[in-house]
């Protein structure tokens, strides 16, 4: 099977946020879909290793901030390459706002946000599919949405080639595993993607 075929599926990139008690957290996802308009219902699929996943499972609510083509790599690094289990992703001077549901959204580098309440959670093994009713939504800008293809071509830093390094490179974040054979159960320590997302350095 040629797994590169799946890279041609059109994806967007989003910041998924949740709140539990006084704890705010967020992560990068690429699996937001509108399912129905009456009732207005969406779905998101979230990796079980993400702390945001556990928060949504327990609270049943989330927001999604729709990123634009103006989003710098720092936003993806901040929300995608570290865990909310040991990092406060909302500390600092960045501008964040709370929607009516009390959950933060990202007003900068986004063209809209959507608030939703989970109606069904489906276990998919490594991920959970959350089907949710939309409780609020707001358009913020007219800048085009960030797609995964645009991110790969224009935002993600290109890995520096080094003829001395032998091993495997993560297609998602660029992390390099040095060694002739990549263990089939290897998980990237940076972005938490599995062995299927690594390519051999030639």
- DSSP state at residue 103: -
The Cα–Cα gap between 104 and 144 comes to 22
pLDDT of 103: 97
The Cα–Cα gap between 191 and 155 comes to 16
Across 7-16, 23-32, 142-151, 188-197, least confident range: 188-197
Residues 126-144 pLDDT 10s = 999 999 999 999 999 999 9
The Cα–Cα gap between 47 and 124 comes to 9
pLDDT of 45: 97
Q: Across the chain, what does the average pLDDT equal?
A: 90
User: Contact, 119 vs 41, CB < 8 A?
Assistant: yes
- DSSP state at residue 161: P
Domains for the chain: give ranges and CATH numbers.
3-151 (2.30.110.10), 160-202 (2.20.28.10)
Give the rounded percent of residues in the chain with a pLDDT score beyond 90: 62
pLDDT of 140: 96
Section 67-94 average pLDDT: 88
Residue 55 binned pLDDT confidence (cut-offs 50, 70, 90): very high
Give 141's Cβ-side CA count (13 Å radius): 17
Question: Whole-prediction pTM value?
Answer: 0.83
CA 146 to chain centre: 12
**Res. 68: pLDDT tops 70:** yes
């Amino acid at each position: 099977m040629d797994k590169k075929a799946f890279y041609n599926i059109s994806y967007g990139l989003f910041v998924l946020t949740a709140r539990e008690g006084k704890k705010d957290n967020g992560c990068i996802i690429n699996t937001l879909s509108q399912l129905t308009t009456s009732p207005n219902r969406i779905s998101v699929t979230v990796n079980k290793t993400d702390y945001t996943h556990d928060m949504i499972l327990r609270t049943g609510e989330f927001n999604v901030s729709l990123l634009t083509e103006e989003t710098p790599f720092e936003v993806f690094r901040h929300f995608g390459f570290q865990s909310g289990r040991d990092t406060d992703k909302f500390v600092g001077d960045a501008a964040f706002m709370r929607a009516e549901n009390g959950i933060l959204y990202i007003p900068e580098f986004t063209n809209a946000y959507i608030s939703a309440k989970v109606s069904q959670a489906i276990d998919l093994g490594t991920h959970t599919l959350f089907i949710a009713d939309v409780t609020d939504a707001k358009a913020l800008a007219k800048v085009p949405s960030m797609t995964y293809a645009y991110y790969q071509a224009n935002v993600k830093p290109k890995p520096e080639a080094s003829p001395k390094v032998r091993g495997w490179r993560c297609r998602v974040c660029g992390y390099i595993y040095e060694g002739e054979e990549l263990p089939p159960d290897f998980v990237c320590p940076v972005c938490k993607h599995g062995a299927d997302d690594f390519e051999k350095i030639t």
